[in-house]
Amino acid sequence: MRAVIQRVRSASVYVDGVELSGIDAGLLIFLGIRGGDTALDIEYIINKSVGLRIFEDDAGKMNLSVADVAGEILVVSQFTLYGDCRKGRRPSFTSAGSPKAAQKVYDEFVDAVTARYPKVKFGRFQAMMDVHIVNDGPVTMLLDSSRAF
């Protein structure tokens, strides 16, 4: 499982021109699901995301988590995080989870992150979405549950 975490001033997601959900200051999590991801991968990404100290304290140092600043989280599924561009010019998505399997893992992620943190909103799995982001910083972090980076 992979995640791109962005610290945002605000973020919202639209489907067919209609706002599905949006947040004020907090984290935008683009979530990629790999074939074979398990509950351990889910917990790793949630624990890292919610605990990631990328918000500034009174001294101006990145020392606070989203929970510490009472921020919100927006989760948007993004299978392209498993796009492999090492060969040729057309990405391969063979490492991404199949739609049916990935939907199951995504639903488990939704349940787990909602149980862990109350201020979470979501995009729509497998939908073509427009994501509007006002980055804060910008601060962007990469997570991979297999610790590839």
Given 6, 30, 55, 79, the catalytic residue: 79
- Catalytically annotated residue among 6, 30, 55, 78: 78
As given in the structure block, the two tokens for residue 139 are 């601060």
**How does 57-94 read in b/e, with b if 16+ C-beta sit within 10 Å?**
eeeeeeebbbbeeebbbbbbbbbebbeeeeeeeeeeee
Answer whether 105's CB lies under 8 Å from 37's CB: yes
Catalytic choice (38, 80, 126, 140): 80
80 is an active site residue: yes
79 given a catalytic annotation: yes
Q: Does the active-site annotation cover 103? A: no
Q: Which positions are catalytic?
A: 78-80
